[in-house]
Each structure stands twice: as structure tokens, then as C-alpha cells.
Structure 1
Amino acid sequence: MLHYSGAVYRPPSEAHSLIIQVTVGCSHNKCAFCNMYKTKQFAITPEEQVLSDLRWAREQYAHVERFFLADGDALILPTERLLGILRTIRELFPECRRISTYASPKSILKKTPEELAALRAAGLEFAYLGLESGNDALLKKINKGVTAAQQIEAGQKLKSAGFTLSVTAINGLAGSNGDWQAHAKDTAAALNAMRPDFIALLTLRIYTGTPMAEWIERGELVMPTPMELIRESKLFLEHIDCPGAVFRSNHASNYLALAGTLNEDRARLIRQCEDALAGNAPLRKYVELGR
């Protein structure tokens, strides 16, 4: 059987991918809002275990078109080891059409353009990058470990190497008592500089045991109301300029479901926000996923 250590997470769009855990946990694992990998100590999965999982999967499954390399940061692997994994996937699964992974800014920046191009040529084609915010003060507060400029550089490196890039940001991250305007505008500016293929705007969720939960309890952070979140989304959309990017803000956490292609659908998306703010559009119930 496949070897998994602890809970394994993947993006919603990877629901039909075979997940191979090439690392355990997250190499940073210090973000104030996140509890995904708090029960794990980061480690690189032994190479033979990964190869054994791939061989077992080939014996069990007649057809696998998509792979997702977990956990939080497969790109931190030495390039040669990662290339070996990609070659094995292609050899064992010639029907494979896509290999994807989460990618942290620091691990991207450590790779040379030549290394990233080699990984892309070997079949690693889709990367998910968590921007969270383009505002430096907020990135420092949430302990993201990188600046907005570093995030932009990481995204641009992936795009230059030929990767399909999906970037997530978090609506409400500054709270209603923080500089939400700067968060919205700076996040849009960072995405404009990256020019990702996909943009996902999630809604802030608070998880027990995280520093952000403690900020809420102490009153240092005030959770935005649904209308405040929609107001922030509207400001974000007014400043986004990413022609051709697929935009989604229809996660279970989002009160107002928004979906379209930028920039052609931007005016419609802004109108949807305006309608909701005027009370002319129904809001969805917030769904806590229990993570």
C-alpha cells in the first residue's frame, strides 16, 4: 500500500490525482494562520519508499493520469532526486498527463532557472504557491518568512520556466481592525507582477491552537463580517490586472461565490460584490471544514 504520514492535504483541483508523499510536513511550518502540518516534523521521505510507492501504485491501478507530490513543499528536494522521481513516474505511467505540487517561495528561490526548466521538462508542470498577501507588514505579522518581492520573484521564476502557476491569497487576513485596504491593493499588485494562470481568493479561517486564534481571543485581531469581506474582495478586484487568469473565489469558506476569467469578467465580478453589499444577492453559509 501507499505510505502516508499523518493527514495529507491537496488542492481541491487535485481530487482525482494520485498523491505521493515525497516530503512529510512543511519546511517552513510557522505561518500564524495555518495548522495543517503542526503535528508533523518536516522530513524528506526516503527515496526507496517513494519509488516503492510508485511501483505498488503501478501494480494496483490500470490508468493514472495525474499525480500530486505532497506534502507542503516537494520542491525543497535536491533537484537530482526530484528528477529521478519524475523519470520514474513517466517510465511507470506513460499515460500520465500532469504532475503538480505545492511550492514554497524559499524552495523556488533556491532553484536556479536551469534547475526549474529541467524539472518542467521532466514533467513537473503545475505549481501551487501560497501568496496569502502582497503586503510586507502583514506578511511579517503572519510569519510567512518572505517578503512580497521574494514572493513575486518566486512566481516569476516558475512562469519563466514554463510552469502553470496557481496562486492563493486570503481575503480578510488583516482583520477588520487592520489595514485591509493595503492588503487588498498590495495583494492585487503582487499578482499583477506574477501573472499567474489561476488565482484563488480564499476567506480567512481561524484554527484552534494557532497564533491567529490567540490574537482573536485577546482582541488583537477582529474577524471581518461577511459584508466587510465582500467589500475587501471588491477593492481587490478593482486593482487586479491579470489578463487571461482564471479567477475563483468559490471555496466553501467564501460567503459570496465568484468565478470568472480576468480581465474580461472583472466588471461583472465587481457588480456581483456591489449587489451583495446592497443586499440584492444571497450569501452562502460559512462552511468550517474542521481542519
Structure 2
Amino acid sequence: MHYEGTVIRPPSEADSILLQVTLGCSHNKCTFCGTYRGKRFDIKKDDVIFEDIEFAGKHCRRQNRLFLCDGDALVIPMRRLVPILERIRDRLPWVERVGVYANAKSIKMKTDEELARLRKLGLKIAYMGLESGDDKVLEAIRKGADADTMITMGKKLKKAGIKVSVTVLLGLGGRKGSLDHARETGRVLTAMDPDFVGALSLMLIPGTELHDQYEKGEFQLPGAEEMLTELGAMIAATNLTDGLFHANHASNYLPIRAHLPQDKEKTLALISQALDGKVPLKPEYMRAL
């Protein structure tokens, strides 16, 4: 496989075929993210992509899921994305699901009919980085979309039959804005009603704007208990029809896997016990991105 630079995939795609079709992220302006800072966004050439699909056809026959890397493959124009999905279906007929990262801009670029067509070609899940439902936070981190746009784009994916997995970032509102960030994020998640939610805890990365703001005292990172309180407030404000809420990423202090709405009260009780010191938190040295 022809991999270039850092290749990132969601935790749930750990066992998937990783097909790199783009380089970097089409937005690449978020103040907290340093993943693609040294990589200029580009779409890889078709012959390279198709060669990698052929390689997967020979060597990845036990993997029934495939993820399109890098940061935002949905931005690829239909005239190129359709043949890629058709080639995957033709050469890798055992692949049951194709996944992709998607941001508000790339979703908006596709019509309802185009998204439905991509779904028929195997694109069954899209991962959206909501990060926060608080417009003040979204503007501060230069996300490129407000909360209402995020809601609209999430619903657009669901209308096409594509499952939606949303990532939110605990601590992103800082210490002062922690609870506003939590409650507004819960409100937006309720409106989007995604199939999956993944809550990560903010870890500051040297070289990013947010890390620089922290160094200057312009941003205060919430501590472990504050992030846990934030998580509780977020879950309390989140009402999903039928979804999984995960907070079991390596960055989190307390692993949580809740099926909402039925596990909501049990999960809030667990967080309360942890805040009371009855459930141990992950020590700082064990946390990771």
C-alpha cells in the first residue's frame, strides 16, 4: 500500500483495510489539531489508488470493512469518488462497509441524491468531528461551521441512509466555558441524533494554536474532575433515539460505553461515583492520543 505521512483512522476502524485516497485535511485550520500541519491537502492519483485496491484484493481478504483515509475523503468530486467505490465493490466483494471522515463543507458539496448513490455503492458510515455544540467554541477553534450547520449536515447524511458517528472533545471550552460547552454539545447531539458518539478528552499538542494560547495563559485546560463533570453534563443534556455514547478513548479518564437512552441514568450514576472518589480514574501517565 502506498501510504504517505501520518495516516489516522477512527478507533472503530482498527481492523479495517486502510485505503489512503487523499493526503491531509481539506480544512486543516482547527486550532487544537496538529495531525496534518505538515501535509498539503491533495487527492491521490487514480492509478495509485487502484493499485492499492488490487493489493488489498490479494492480501486483505479477511477484512470486511474499509476506511478511506486521510482527513476528509468525502470532499473528492463524484466523478472520481464513484469509480473508486465501484472498483472497491468489484475487486473486494467481501467488503461489507466503507467508512470515511466527513466535515460540514464536504457534506454540503454533495446533493441528497449523490449521497444516496454513495450509500448504494457501499459508503455506510461517516465520521463527523463536531467537537462542540457551542458556537463560541466552534468559532474560537476555527472549525469552519456553526452548530446549526453541523445539525443540518448530520441529518443530511442520515437521510441518505449513511450512519453517522460524531466526535466531541471534552475540555475544549476551557475551564470558564466548560458547562456551556457540555450542555450546548448535548443539545446539538440531540438534534443530530447520530448513531454513535465518541467523546475524547482534550490533550494539548505543541505547535498548535491552542497549545500556544495555553502557554500564554489565554486558555485554561480543565482538570480530570472538571472534564468528568463536563462529561456528565453533556450526557445529561443528550437525548438520542437509539445510539451508542462512547468515552473509552485512550485520552479519557473514565471509560464509558453507554447505549442511550436506556443506559443514561446508570452512566450518570457511575460518573457521580467517580467524582466522589469511589471509582478510580485513569492516571495521567496512561492517557494518550
Classify the TM-score, shorter chain: over 0.9
Alpha-carbon distance in structure 2 between the residues aligned to 1:61 and 1:252: 27
Deviation at 1:288, TM superposition (A): 4.3
Deviation at 1:149, TM superposition (A): 0.8
Deviation at 1:60, TM superposition (A): 2.9
Q: TM-score, normalised by structure 1?
A: 0.96
Alpha-carbon distance in structure 2 between the residues aligned to 1:278 and 1:143: 36
Alpha-carbon distance in structure 2 between the residues aligned to 1:7 and 1:39: 10
Q: Which amino acid aligns with 1:233?
A: L
Deviation at 1:105, TM superposition (A): 1.1
Alpha-carbon distance in structure 2 between the residues aligned to 1:84 and 1:27: 21
Residue in 2 that maps onto 1:72: 71
Deviations 1:53-112 (A, max 9, x none): 111222333443111000001110011211111110111111111110111111001110
Q: Does 1:174 align with 2:168?
A: no
Deviation at 1:24, TM superposition (A): 0.3
Residue in 1 that maps onto 2:244: 246
Residue in 1 that maps onto 2:231: 233
Residue in 2 that maps onto 1:95: 94
Residue in 2 that maps onto 1:193: 191
Q: Which amino acid aligns with 2:150?
A: Q
Residue in 2 that maps onto 1:118: 117
CA RMSD, aligned part only?
A: 1.1
Deviations 1:165-203 (A, max 9, x none): 100101111111x31121111101111111100011110
Deviation at 1:251, TM superposition (A): 0.9
Residue in 1 that maps onto 2:8: 9
Residue in 2 that maps onto 1:215: 213
Deviation at 1:276, TM superposition (A): 1.2
Q: Does 1:106 align with 2:105?
A: yes
Report matched runs for 1:38-77 at 5 Å. 38-77=37-76
Q: Which runs of 5+ in 2 are unaligned?
A: none
CA contact (8 A) 2:194 2:243 kept: yes
Alpha-carbon distance in structure 2 between the residues aligned to 1:261 and 1:59: 37
Residue in 2 that maps onto 1:284: 282
Deviations 1:265-286 (A, max 9, x none): 0101111111111111111123
Alpha-carbon distance in structure 2 between the residues aligned to 1:255 and 1:126: 27
Q: Which amino acid aligns with 1:180?
A: S
Q: Which amino acid aligns with 2:177?
A: D
